[in-house]
Amino acid sequence: MTPTKAPEAPARRARQTATPVVNDDPTDDVDATSTVEFGPWLAQGAELRVSKWRAGRGFYAPAHRGAPTSTRQAEVLNTAAIAAPTDEEGVVIGEDRLSRTLVAGDPFTAYQKGLISSPNVVVVGDVGAGKSSLTKTVCVLRVLPLRRRRVVVFDKKDQGGRGEYTSLVERNGSTPIFFSLDGSEKRSIINLLDPAIVLGAGLGRTLDLLRAVAETVAGRGLDDWEMEALRRALRMTMTWGESAGRAPTLVDLAAQLPRVHTTRDELSPAARERLHQSAATVMFVLSGLLEEFSGLFDGETSKAIDLSDRLTSFDISQLPATGPAAPMVVAAANMWLMGVLRRRRGWFTNVLAEEGWDLIGGANGALWRSLIKLARGLGVSMITNIHKLADIPKSSPAYAIIQEAQTVHVFRQSRAEDQAASIEAFNLESSAGGSLGSLTTGDHLYKVGSNAEVRVRHVRTPWEIAVTNTDEAMTENGRGQA
Ligand SMILES: Nc1ncnc2c1ncn2[C@@H]1O[C@H](COP(=O)(O)OP(=O)(O)OP(=O)(O)O)[C@@H](O)[C@H]1O
Ligand SMILES: [Mg+2]
C-alpha cells in the first residue's frame, strides 16, 4: 500500500472560515409584545456577541477539528478512536477521554438539532466531584457571552457567609439578591401575590404556589375544603387589591381568609360552617408562616428582584440549611421568573438550582415539575445539581424530573447504590457503573438524548479555576476565612 501524504496543518484561513455566526446587531432588545410561544426550537444556536472585525481575524473561531494522526490511512483504520463524539456546536465542556477531541454541548442547540425534546439538565455526583465547577463554567460563564442568553442561579451553598456564586456574580457587575431571616438590612422580600406571579403565571399557578407553601409549612396536604377556602380567599384578595390600588400580599390574604363566605346559597349551613372552619385553619397556617419566616414573604417584592442583569443570583445560602424557608423562596422566585419571562420573550435562560434535591424534594416537587413543563415554552433550561441519587424515592416528582432530563452529567459516585441508580435513571451502559466510582474530580459521563454517554474531562482555563474553586477555606488563599 502506498503511504499517503500527511495532511497539511490547517492554515490560518481555514480557522477563519470556521468563524461562528456573527451578529453585529448591538441592540439585544426584547420583544415584550410577542405572545407566540418562544421555545428552544427557535434558538439560533450558540451565537456569540462578537465584533465582525475581530471575528474576521479568527479571534472567536473554534479550533479546527483535530485528528491526532499523521496519515490519512490511520484515520481510516482508527475511526472509532479518533472520531469526536460531539460536534463543535454549543458550549465547550472539555475533552473526550477516548479520542482526546473537544466535547461541546448546549441544550438549546441540541434541541434545535432534534437531539433532545427537553432542554432540562441534571448534574449528579458525590460531594466535591466537580459538579459546581462544571455548572459555573459550562452553564454560566461560557453562556453569558452568547447573544440573548441569561442565567438565573439559586445559590444555596454557604461560602464564608455568602453564596458560592457571589464572586462570580460580582465579577459580572451584578449584586446577588440576598435572603435571610436574621433581620439583615440587605435582605429581600418576595411577594407570593406579586403581579408578575398572578398576572404572568396566572391565578391557577398562584394557587399551586400558595398550596405548596402552605403544605410545606403545615407538613401535610391541604384537603378539598381548605383548597376551596384558599381559592375563594385568593379571588377576594385580588379584588380587594384592585380597590386598594396596590399589589396585595400574603398578609392581606391571611386577613381575607376569615371572611371567606359563599355569595350564593349553594351550600347548606353545615357546609358553609365547614368552609369557614377550613378557611380558619389555612389562616392559622399562613399566620404561622408569616411569623416564623418574618421578612421573607410579608410585603411587596423588593425592588432588587428584577431581571435586568444577564446573571441574576438568588442567594439563599444564609437561610436555614434544612427546613422549608429556602425551598419556599425558590418556589416563589421560580414562579415570579416564569411570570416575567412570559411577558419578555426572545431570550434563552439557564435556571440553575444548586443543591437541587433540597429544593425539589417534598411538597415543592410537584410544583417544580409543573414549572419545568412551563419552562420549555419560555425558552428556559432548568439545570438541577444533586447528589445521592439513590436517596430520592422513585415515586417522587423529584425522581421524574431527574429521569425526564435529556442532558446529564454524571460525576463520581462512591456508593454502589448511587451508581446503580444512575445507570437505571439515565439509561447508561451497565459497564459504566464500574467507572463511576473511580472517576477523578472533573471527569464525568456526559449523555445527550439517546446518544451513548461520553467520558469527558471538564477543562477550565486558569481564570475559570480561580473563579470556580470552592475549597478556599482549605487552601492558602482562603487561610483565615474559614
Ligand atoms: N475539572 C476539574 N479539574 C480539576 N479540579 C477540579 C475540577 N472541577 C473541580 N475541581 C476541584 O474540585 C473542587 C470541588 O469542586 P466542586 O465545588 O465543583 O464540587 P461539587 O461537586 O460541586 O461539590 P459539592 O457537592 O460539595 O457542592 C474545586 O474546588 C476544584 O478545586
Ligand atoms: Mg457544588
Average of per-residue pLDDT values in the chain: 81
Which tens digits make up the pLDDT trace of 149-185? 999 999 999 999 999 999 999 988 999 999 999 877 7
pLDDT of residue 482: 28
Confidence of residue 240 (pLDDT cuts 50, 70, 90): very high
Q: All 3 cell numbers of residue 429?
A: 451502559
Could you give the C-alpha distances from 55 to 21, 59, 68, 336, in angstroms and in order? 9, 5, 27, 38
pLDDT of residue 115: 87
Confidence of residue 8 (pLDDT cuts 50, 70, 90): very low
With a cut of 70, say whether residue 120 has pLDDT above it: yes
How many whole angstroms from 371 Cα to the centroid of ligand 2? Answer: 23
pLDDT of residue 260: 87
How many whole angstroms from 268 Cα to the centroid of ligand 2? Answer: 56
How many whole angstroms from 353 Cα to the centroid of ligand 2? Answer: 10
Confidence of residue 481 (pLDDT cuts 50, 70, 90): very low
User: How far is the C-alpha of 269 from the C-alpha of 265, rounded, in Å?
Assistant: 9
pLDDT of residue 53: 76
Which tens digits make up the pLDDT trace of 59-75? 666 555 555 554 445 44
pLDDT of residue 268: 85
- 176 Cβ inside 6 Å of ligand 1: no
User: How far is the C-alpha of 406 from the C-alpha of 425, rounded, in Å?
Assistant: 11
Which tens digits make up the pLDDT trace of 394-423? 888 888 888 889 999 999 999 999 999 999
Is residue 82 within 8 A of residue 75, CB to CB? The reply is: yes
> Residue ranges of the domains in the chain?
91-188+304-478, 195-292
The pick from 126, 133, 445 for probing ligand 1's pocket by mutation, whose C-beta has the most ligand atoms within 8 angstroms, reads: 133
The pick from 92, 123, 132, 358 for probing ligand 1's pocket by mutation, whose C-beta has the most ligand atoms within 8 angstroms, reads: 132
CATH of 91-188+304-478, one of 3.30.2310.20, 3.40.50.1240, 1.10.3210.10, 3.40.50.300: 3.40.50.300
Is residue 413 within 8 A of residue 422, CB to CB? The reply is: yes
Ligand 1 atom at shortest distance from the alpha carbon of 458: 1
With a cut of 90, say whether residue 81 has pLDDT above it: no
Arithmetic mean of pLDDT, 6-20: 39
With a cut of 90, say whether residue 376 has pLDDT above it: no
First-to-last C-alpha distance (Å) of the chain: 66
How many whole angstroms from 354 Cα to the centroid of ligand 1? Answer: 13
Q: Which helix (H) or strand (E) holds 108?
A: helix 107-112
Residue type, 114: G
Give the range among 33-42, 235-244, 308-317 with minimum mean pLDDT: 33-42
Q: Which helix (H) or strand (E) holds 162?
A: strand 162-163
- Residue 376 — φ and ψ, nearest 5°? -55, -45
- 472 Cβ inside 6 Å of ligand 1: no
Ligand 1 atom at shortest distance from the alpha carbon of 129: 21
Task: Please give the angle made by the CA atoms of 342, 345 and 351, to the nearest 5 degrees.
Answer: 75
Return the higher-pLDDT residue of 473 and 323: 323
Q: Please give the share of the chain, as a percent, with pLDDT higher than 90.
A: 46
With a cut of 80, say whether residue 57 has pLDDT above it: no
With a cut of 90, say whether residue 287 has pLDDT above it: yes
pLDDT of residue 153: 96
pLDDT of residue 200: 84
- Residue 11 — φ and ψ, nearest 5°? -75, 165
- 470 Cβ inside 6 Å of ligand 1: yes
Is residue 236 within 8 A of residue 254, CB to CB? The reply is: no
User: How far is the C-alpha of 167 from the C-alpha of 161, rounded, in Å?
Assistant: 12
With a cut of 80, say whether residue 127 has pLDDT above it: yes
Q: Which distant-in-sequence residues (6+ apart) come within 8 Å of 54 by Cβ? A: 60
Arithmetic mean of pLDDT, 325-331: 89
DSSP class of residue 429 equals -
Pick from 290, 294, 359: nearest CA to 324: 359
pLDDT of residue 54: 74
- 249 Cβ inside 6 Å of ligand 1: no
With a cut of 50, say whether residue 4 has pLDDT above it: no
pLDDT of residue 356: 73
